[in-house]
């Protein structure tokens, strides 16, 4: 469950379905978001696994507005609004704040490499000042394997000092537990989210607030189960089961694998489609993925029923 007063729990980087003409499939997207909410999962729409940087800014804004208009609560949403452009990031962020979203997930400007903490501070600061809304809550998105632009502890410290009521958390997708641990120790009480569920238990034990995970698109209930029972005697065993499933999914390109799993469990092959430069699974990849799912008896209860609405 997402705590709407202080964002914590399990969120997913919601995958984006596309029509044959590669336009976003709003109907399927909203239905998937509805299903995720039944699984106690918050909606970090427009993240890496949402193919966000393959979407135009107008497409993102239209989809987010449609989600709210469809009755899904904005308090459970953390849309990605990071951009290389200050005006565009400001535009996306202002739109999310205006809709009442609980927070925004903000990448650093990622095109230029080797930039200084000073440059990154100026970028984030300019966006905050241009949005100019006390309701804004930013969750930094540290994803150096993809962006090649790290958010350092020194930069975090400076941002927290300058904007303590605005910069309130971070998703650490570094893949380096020692980095997450350093964040937890350096900033107690800060909203640190694990980048995926493999370090969820360790993050919670260290004072973190949850995880924002791609595989929560399909396995949210099990991930939330660990979040809700992290102090139970069998918590380590629950973590091991999550790790097994995550590692199985990581044998394949993640975004097409998530879409193929949804397509299979919903009985809806339209879900398999990706927007170039990503492509759909080959027959051999699909066979391998289904074998992994069947080996674990994996299913997504209630998904097929929602897909028919």
DSSP string computed for 163-231: -TTTEEEEEE-SS-HHHHHHHHHHSTTSEEEESSGGGHHHHHHTT--EEEETTHHHHHHHHHHHHHTTT
Handedness of CA 226, 227, 228, 234 (dihedral sign): positive
Helix, strand or coil for residue 9?
A: strand
Q: What is the pLDDT of residues 152-199, one digit of tens each?
A: 999 999 999 999 999 999 999 999 999 999 999 999 999 999 999 999
Which residue from 255, 297, 270, 262 is spatially nearest to 53, judged by alpha carbons?
A: 255
> Per the confidence metrics, is the pTM higher than 0.75?
yes
Q: Residue 308: is its pLDDT beyond 60?
A: no
Does the domain formed by 9-235 have CATH 3.20.20.70?
Answer: yes
Break the chain into its structural domains and give their ranges.
9-235
pLDDT in tens, 290-301: 999 999 999 998
Separation CA 46–CA 22 (nearest Å) = 16
> Residues 78-91: pLDDT tens digits?
999 999 999 999 99
Pairing of β 104-106 and β 191-194: unpaired
CB 120 within 8 A of CB 149: yes
Q: What is the pLDDT of residue 3?
A: 38
Angle, alpha carbons 292-295-300 (nearest 5°): 75
């Amino acid at each position: 469950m997402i705590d709407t007063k202080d964002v914590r729990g399990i969120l997913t980087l919601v995958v984006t379905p596309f029509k044959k003409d590669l336009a976003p499939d709003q109907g399927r997207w909203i239905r998937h978001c509805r299903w995720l909410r039944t699984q106690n999962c918050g909606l970090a729409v427009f993240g890496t696994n949402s193919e966000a940087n393959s979407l135009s800014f107008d497409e993102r804004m239209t989809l987010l507005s449609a989600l709210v208009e469809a009755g899904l609560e904005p308090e459970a949403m953390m849309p990605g609004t990071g951009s290389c452009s200050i005006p565009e990031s400001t535009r996306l962020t202002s739109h999310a704040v205006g809709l009442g979203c609980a927070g925004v997930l903000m990448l650093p400007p990622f095109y230029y490499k080797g930039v200084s903490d000073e440059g990154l501070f100026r970028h984030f600061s300019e966006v905050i000042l241009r949005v100019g809304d006390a309701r804004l809550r930013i969750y930094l998105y540290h994803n150096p394997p993809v962006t090649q632009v790290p958010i350092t502890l020194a930069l975090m410290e400076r941002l927290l000092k300058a904007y303590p009521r605005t910069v309130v958390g971070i998703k650490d997708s570094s893949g380096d537990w020692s980095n997450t641990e350093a964040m937890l120790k350096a900033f107690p009480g800060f909203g640190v989210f694990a980048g995926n569920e493999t370090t969820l238990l360790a993050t919670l034990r260290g004072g973190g607030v949850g995880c924002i995970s791609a595989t929560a698109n399909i396995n949210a209930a099990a991930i939330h189960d660990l979040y809700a029972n992290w102090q139970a005697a069998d918590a380590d065993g629950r973590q091991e089961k999550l790790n097994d499933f995550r590692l199985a999914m990581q044998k394949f390109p993640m975004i097409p694998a998530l879409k193929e799993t949804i397509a299979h469990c919903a009985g809806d092959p339209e879900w398999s489609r990706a927007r170039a430069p990503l492509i759909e699974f080959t027959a051999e990849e699909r066979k391998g993925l289904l074998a992994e799912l069947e080996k674990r008896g994996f299913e997504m209860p209630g998904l097929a029923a929602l897909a028919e609405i």
